[in-house]
Amino acid sequence: MKHMRLRSKIALGILAAILLAGIFAPLLAPYDPYASDLGNVLAQPSAQHWLGTDSIGRDLFSRILYGGRQSILLALVATALSMGIGFLIGLVAGYFGGAVDGVITTISNVFQGLPGLTLMIAIAALMGPGVTSMIVAIVTNSWVGFSRIVRGEVMKIKQESYIDGLKSVGASKARILFMHISPNLLGTTCILFATRVAAVVIAVAALSYLGLGLQPPTPDWGVMISEARAYFRRVPMMVVAPGLCIVALSLSVNILADEMRDRLDVRKDSLKDM
């Protein structure tokens, strides 16, 4: 903790602030984020409304506080799921090797061939917009990264364990696998998790902006930007504020991921294109 660079400390602070604001939004928000007040639309920032109001009179500040909740939770759940699935698949591919590995690798390539937003949009179209379809879309897109790392690690251990394997018998090969898992794997996975979450938050916002993700009247940053588009000239704050929140969240996570990467000091190629 002590050795952290200044910017990492700031990033940690900002991230903590965002998460706390999201968790305690019901306590902190002065207004109900859904409550509209048609007599007071598009107001400038004032003592009553710190950031002003939006096109149907909802308090912007309250909506901002609530704005990260859904996307962050969504991003965390979806990425965790990807990690779990990727881990299992990578384990199978690495452990069994041979034809099984070949099939899994091909399937991984297929999923990588339908990149990012395209697939998410298509799945959102299929299943109708909403949380479930976004989770499915995110998982389909993200599991490959995790499975590749795990597969590589398992294969590396397998090589070593063959040497040990002369001493051990049958069943304990699995034990050796687990005993030899390098601390590197944990670190690498954490870094990938962090960078994926940052990217997913942005992707969720983009989908919501297009109307394919979270829907109005949900107080979500992405949705807010889409609603605010038309009013940008009159009340730029409506667009700028939620956007800055997304940037703050994504940036702080990326900076912390960098910090982790430096600590890890691993010279693996896989880290470089995270």
Partner 1 sequence: MELTKYILKRLALLIPVLIGVTIIAFALGVLSPGDPVDQILNPDGSESYTQEEYEQVSERLGLDQPVVVQYLDWLGEILRGDFGRSFFTQKSILDQLRYRIPTTMVLAGLSMLLVTIFGVGSGIIMATHRDSPLDRFLSGLSTVLLSVPGFWIAILLIFLFAEKWKILPTSGVSSFAGFILPAITLALPGTGVCARLTRSTILDELGRQYTVVADSKGLDQRQVVMRHAFINALVPIGTYLGTHLAGIMGGAAVIETIFAIPGIGSYAIAAVQSSDYYVVQAYVMLCGTIYVIANILIDIFYITVNPKIRFGLAVE
Residues interacting with partner 1, by CB under 8 A?
Answer: 7, 106-107, 109-110, 112-122, 124-126, 128, 198, 202, 205-206, 209-212, 222, 225, 229, 232-233, 236, 239-240, 243, 246-247, 250-251, 253-255, 258, 267, 269, 272-273
* 21 Cβ neighbours under 8 A, 6+ residues apart: 28, 65, 68
Distance in Å, CB of 230 to partner 1, minimum: 11
Distance in Å, CB of 256 to partner 1, minimum: 11
**Shorter beta-carbon distance to partner 1: residue 73 or 126:** 126
CA 89, CA 151: separation in Å to the nearest integer? 8
CA 231, CA 112: separation in Å to the nearest integer? 38
Beta pairing partners, 53: 59
CA 5, CA 30: separation in Å to the nearest integer? 35
CA 111, CA 144: separation in Å to the nearest integer? 7
CA 52, CA 247: separation in Å to the nearest integer? 21
Distance in Å, CB of 261 to partner 1, minimum: 9
**Shorter beta-carbon distance to partner 1: residue 43 or 199:** 199
Structure tokens at 114: 């339908």
Q: Is the dihedral of CA 168, 170, 172, 174 positive or negative?
A: positive
**Shorter beta-carbon distance to partner 1: residue 13 or 115:** 115
CA 83, CA 78: separation in Å to the nearest integer? 9
Distance in Å, CB of 135 to partner 1, minimum: 17
**Shorter beta-carbon distance to partner 1: residue 128 or 170:** 128
Peptide bond into 183 cis (omega under 30): no
Distance in Å, CB of 74 to partner 1, minimum: 15
Question: What distances in angstroms separate CA 258 from CA 63, 127, 147, 189, 232, one per listed residue?
Answer: 30, 36, 21, 13, 34
Distance in Å, CB of 229 to partner 1, minimum: 6
**Shorter beta-carbon distance to partner 1: residue 28 or 117:** 117
**Shorter beta-carbon distance to partner 1: residue 161 or 208:** 208
Distance in Å, CB of 88 to partner 1, minimum: 20
DSSP type of residue 267: -
Distance in Å, CB of 166 to partner 1, minimum: 29
Rounded to the nearest angstrom, the gap between the alpha carbon of residue 104 and the centroid of all alpha carbons in its chain is: 24
